[in-house]
């Protein structure tokens, strides 16, 4: 998903495309060079570069395969970024500290930018947590089901919450409030993107599009 999607309005339609078409796909009126009622808006991609994130939970396709996009079925891999964009992620061989490979993923902010004391200690917390015996292959074996990359992230988040005097999140609560809404957004965007690739544009009546996607934006600390 390299190109950015733009949205424009014409004759009571919302048209999604990669570039303004020569003529309106609905009414046939010439668009290029003519003045549109509203400027085309570009839709932000729901995928971000994890190495440019700070203290986020990151969700990415499991294999280093740049051709494959989120389609709702591919395996997901999760990790946590430190304040310098290094991604800590637990695998069979222990905790990896990746400086690349997480360029296209979903990021969930874990710390509000005004929580200076937490941010100041984040990298140290994350290092110390990662060095723990729980994640050392000599002590604990990786398990696809219950001791995996997500267990690492969730337990780290919970250890931070505990240090802040807050109660722990269950796996379900964490998945439902922080991961699924964002994954749904990715899947909607992917569907739209693929439709435009095949048909050059996607069009809906303006009325139908009134309920905008309002989810997201929340962080664990909000």
Residues making contact with Zn ion (CB under 5 A)? 10-11, 24, 26-27
CB-based contacts of 63, cutoff 8 Å, min separation 6: 75
d(CA 25, CA 202): 9
CA distance 88 to 79: 5
Q: Per the structure block, which two tokens stand in for 124?
A: 């140290």
- Distance in Å, CB of 35 to Zn ion, minimum: 13
User: Which SS3 state, helix, strand or coil, does residue 79 take?
Assistant: strand
The CB-of-102 to Zn ion minimum distance in angstroms stands at 41
For Zn ion, the closer CB: 9 or 83: 9
* 26 or 148: CB nearest Zn ion: 26
Q: How far is the CB of 27 from Zn ion (least distance, A)?
A: 3
In the bound state with Zn ion, the residue whose beta carbon lies nearer, of 29 and 136, is: 29
Are residues 162 and 118 in contact, defined by beta-carbon separation less than 8 angstroms? no
Query: Which CB sits closer to Zn ion, 24 or 108?
Result: 24
Q: How far is the CB of 212 from Zn ion (least distance, A)?
A: 22
């Amino acid at each position: 998903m390299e190109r950015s999607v733009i949205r424009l309005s014409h004759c009571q339609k919302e048209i999604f495309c990669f570039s303004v078409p020569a003529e309106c796909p609905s009414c046939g009126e010439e668009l290029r060079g003519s003045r549109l009622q509203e400027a085309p808006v570009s839709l932000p991609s729901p995928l971000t570069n994890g190495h440019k994130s700070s203290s986020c939970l990151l969700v990415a396709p499991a294999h280093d395969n740049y051709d494959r996009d989120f389609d709702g079925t591919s395996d997901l891999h999760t990790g946590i970024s430190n304040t310098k964009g290094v991604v800590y992620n637990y695998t069979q061989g222990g905790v990896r500290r990746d400086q690349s490979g997480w360029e296209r993923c979903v990021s969930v902010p874990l710390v509000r930018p005004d929580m200076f004391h937490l941010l100041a200690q984040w990298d140290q917390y994350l290092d110390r947590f990662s060095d723990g015996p729980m994640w050392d292959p000599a002590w604990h074996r990786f398990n696809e089901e219950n001791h995996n990359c997500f267990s690492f992230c969730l337990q780290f988040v919970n250890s931070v919450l505990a240090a802040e005097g807050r109660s722990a999140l269950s796996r379900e609560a964490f998945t439902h409030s922080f991961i699924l809404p964002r994954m749904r957004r990715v899947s909607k965007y992917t569907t739209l993107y693929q439709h435009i690739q095949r048909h050059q544009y996607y069009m809906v009546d303006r009325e139908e599009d009134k309920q905008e996607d309002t989810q997201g934006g929340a962080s664990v600390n909000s």
